[in-house]
């Protein structure tokens, strides 16, 4: 259902009228979700990003000069939100990857001192490794201990490389979430 967005609705939304805001969201939600989905790899993130876009847009509706420019305005915000998420997750994944590598590479004392100097963090990581599914544990071991790439892991597990990369990403995310919930100092490290 496409709703015709008028200047009156836009002006009412700017002044905080909940009905006008709901109309504004309904008028552009489907288009925005489709655009956000085209920017993301994980379809599970689409709703979160779309919601963030609407929240930011509602704070800046004064920047929209006419109803016809709302779609372009929302797309610009969506690009920025997706860019920020990618940077954030890249930083987290890099820090986490270092932590996982350190868990498997006990010979590296320089990085161990930095990342795993806290025995609580190391204990939490070991406990989290025990909690993840056996297949995920196996893949992480193959990747970080045996230093196999996704093609090699896939060959041993009868999976294609993209499936291995996706599974490794999910396993790292599960470990990171486990670490954050079970060890307060781990949240500071990663």
In contact, 187 and 180? CB cutoff 8 Å: yes
Q: What is the CATH architecture of 7-88?
A: Orthogonal Bundle (1.10)
Hey, where are the domains in the chain? 7-88, 118-189
Q: Do domains 7-88 and 118-189 have the same CATH topology?
A: no
pLDDT of the residue at 88 = 75
- Residue 156's pLDDT is 92
How confident is the model at residue 92, as a pLDDT? 60
Q: What is the mean pLDDT of the chain?
A: 79
Which stretch of 27-31, 115-119, 121-125 has the lowest confidence by average pLDDT? 115-119
Residue 47 to residues 31, 37, 106, 178, Cα–Cα distance (Å): 12, 9, 41, 24
pTM equals: 0.49
CATH for the 118-189 domain, from 1.20.1260.10, 2.40.30.10, 1.10.3720.10, 1.10.10.10: 1.10.10.10
Reported as a pLDDT band with limits 50, 70 and 90, residue 78 is very high
pLDDT surpassing 80 at residue 98:
no
**Amino acid 117: pLDDT:** 56
DSSP output for the chain: ------HHHHHHHHTT-HHHHHHHHHHHHHHHHHHHHHH-S-GGGHHHHHHHHHHHHHHTGGG--SGGGHHHHHHHHHHHHHHHHHHHHHHHHHHHHHHHHHHH-TT-HHHHHHHS-SHHHHHHHHHHHHHS-HHHHHHHIIIIIS---HHHHHHHHT--HHHHHHHHHHHHHHHHHHHHHH-HHHHHH-
pLDDT in tens, 32-48: 999 998 888 777 788 89
């Amino acid at each position: 259902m496409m709703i015709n967005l008028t200047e009156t609705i836009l002006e009412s939304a700017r002044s905080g009228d909940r009905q006008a805001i709901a109309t504004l969201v309904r008028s552009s939600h489907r288009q925005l979700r489709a655009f956000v989905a085209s920017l993301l790899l994980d379809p599970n993130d689409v709703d979160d990003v779309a919601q963030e876009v609407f929240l930011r847009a509602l704070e800046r509706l004064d920047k929209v000069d006419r109803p016809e420019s709302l779609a372009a305005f929302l797309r610009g915000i969506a690009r920025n939100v997706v860019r920020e998420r990618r940077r954030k997750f890249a930083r987290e994944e890099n820090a986490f990857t270092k932590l996982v590598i350190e868990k498997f590479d006990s010979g590296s004392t320089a990085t161990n001192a930095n990342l795993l100097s806290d025995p609580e963090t190391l204990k939490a990581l070991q406990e989290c490794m025990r909690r993840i599914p056996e297949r995920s544990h196996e893949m992480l071991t193959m990747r970080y201990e045996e230093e196999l790439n996704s093609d090699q892991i896939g060959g041993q597990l009868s999976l294609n490389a993209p499936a291995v990369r996706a599974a490794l990403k999910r396993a790292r995310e599960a470990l990171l979430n486990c670490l954050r919930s079970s060890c307060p100092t781990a949240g500071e490290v990663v």
